[in-house]
Amino acid sequence: MSPAEPADTAQDRLVLAKEASRATARMTSDDKARALEAIARALEAHTAVIIEANARDIERGRASGISEGLIDRLRLDETRVAALASAVRDVAALADPVGQVVGGHRMPNGVSLEQVRVPFGVVGVIYEARPNVTVDIAALALRSGNASVLRGGSAARESNTVLVRVMRDALEESGITAEAIQTVDDFGRDGAMALMRGRGFVDVLVPRGSASLIETVVTESIVPVIETGAGNVHIVLDESAPEDWAREIVVNAKVQRPSVCNAVETVLVLRQAAPHLVPIIADALHSEGVAIHGDDVVAGMVANIIPATEEDWATEYLSLDIAMKVVDDLDDALAHIRQYSTGHTESIVTIDSRNAERFLAEVDSAVVMVNASTRFTDGGEFGFGAEVGISTQKLHARGPMGLAELTSTKWLARGSGQTRP
């Protein structure tokens, strides 16, 4: 078996990843940047092979009846492969977090203390139908001094197999251990279980995908998990919202890429704004092919409205569907968000500074916005180069996760013979 070929069992791969993590932790910043540049060049050189493999995944997905939203997440074309290579270079250009001093002080006895960032070791990720995640995670893990073990799901099996092989070969050709990037895809559910049960080998596990996948990983893992969440995302329009801002922000947040977790799923319109804003927003959405699931007030103002049910307010559509509701006031909007939000991203369109500041202060989501599209909740847009995922938990990492979120810290103590009395 050549160095770039995977090991024979899922457990073997966890062992190899753990061993590789000791090597990646010792790599210099220049070594890591050089490895990432090699990966970017390899992705570009193998674009045709990657797209061919991806076409097989799409063909199989359509035959099995998966949704068009998932097909869009799954698809790789020349533009998207080029974007993957560009994202890898962006990650390489970021400041290396390893060794950064977080804090420190000198104790009264003269011992010097420093808290510094260190790699986790082995980062595991379980995700669905997102071959771009394969590259993003591998790049972020490597730049932060970690090894990665990937479980990308059956929908993207062909794409991920090629992507992992291309990246491992690039590392080997750069003189860096290929074992720093592992996949357990070929073991199916057993591979996912190995990650969730890999205590002592997997230092942190990140699930990305459906609510059911995330719940399974959170409840069944015996390794630490950073929980990412579904995106039941809201936009609130108040009576001061400029019509053009409201229209453009809502349409962009829904239509620009409806299959992703930062796409808006529910629009809440304050009652005083409803008579003039609801028809404008509905007309703009209908013209883009969006199906509107509205309450009785919305249905009374606009034609071609699907009656909304209780289920609609809790639904992450990931499609050209949206829920729309008229609420009495900002209090009512905030109460609705508290009840139905998944804690991902919420935005308000307003020029009322009091409403804006209250919304920012009271909404308890990972990202809270004023007068901006929710589509900006993204590691690349936030300047991270790529992202591990968008964390909706409150411990260690929250919101788009970049390099810093793939590190822990340790304390360095330097003394000159001190002992404790």
In this structure, the answer to whether residues 254 and 222 fall within a common structural domain is no
1 to 57, 161, 416: CA distances (angstroms): 27, 17, 50
- pLDDT at residue 144 in the model: 96
d(CA 282, CA 305): 9
- Quote the tokens at residue 270: 């304050």
CA dist., res. 332 & res. 175, Å (int): 59
The mean pLDDT value for 393-420 works out to 90
Residue 360 resides in a domain: yes
* CATH for 369: 3.40.309.10
341: β partners: none
- Residue written as token pair 């974007």: 83
220 with 86, same domain? yes
Same domain, residue pair 339 and 410? no
Residue at 388 is within a domain: no
Is 201 within the bounds of a domain? Answer: yes
Cα–Cα dist 401/6, whole Å: 28
Q: Report DSSP letters for 110-151, one per residue.
A: S-EEEEEEEE-SEEEEEESS-HHHHHHHHHHHHHTT-EEEEE
Would residue 206 count as lying in a domain?
yes
3-state secondary structure (DSSP) of residue 327: strand
Whole-number average pLDDT of the chain: 94
Task: Please indicate, yes or no, whether residues 243 and 285 belong to a single structural domain of this protein.
Answer: yes
Quick one: 161 and 50 in the same domain?
Answer: yes
Task: Print the domain residue range for 279.
Answer: 233-376
Helix (H, G, I), strand (E, B) or coil at 258: coil
Are residues 160 and 266 both part of a single domain? no
pTM (predicted TM-score): 0.82
Band (159; pLDDT cuts 50, 70, 90): very high
The three-point CA angle 83-86-91 to 5° equals 125
**Are 240 and 347 contained in the same domain?**
yes
* Nearest-10 crossing angle of helices 78-93, 29-45: 170
First vs last C-alpha separation in the chain: 57
What digits encode the pLDDT tens for the residues 320-329? 999 999 999 9
More confident residue, 161 or 69: 161
- Structure tokens belonging to residue 358: 């209250």
Q: pLDDT at residue 6 above 60? A: no
Residue 238 forms part of a structural domain: yes
Both 313 and 368 in one domain: the answer is yes
- Do 218 and 243 fall into the same domain? no
Asked if 29 and 153 sit in the same domain, the reply is yes
Q: Give the total number of structural domains in the chain.
A: 2
Residues 184, 241, single domain; the answer is: no
Residue 352 has pLDDT above 60, yes or no: yes
Cα-atom radius of gyration of the chain, to the nearest Å? 23
The tens digit of pLDDT for each residue in 85-137 reads: 999 999 999 999 999 999 999 999 999 999 999 999 999 999 988 899 999 99
Percent of the chain with pLDDT over 70: 98
pLDDT band with cut points at 50, 70 and 90 for residue 7: low
Average the pLDDT over 74-95 and give the result: 95
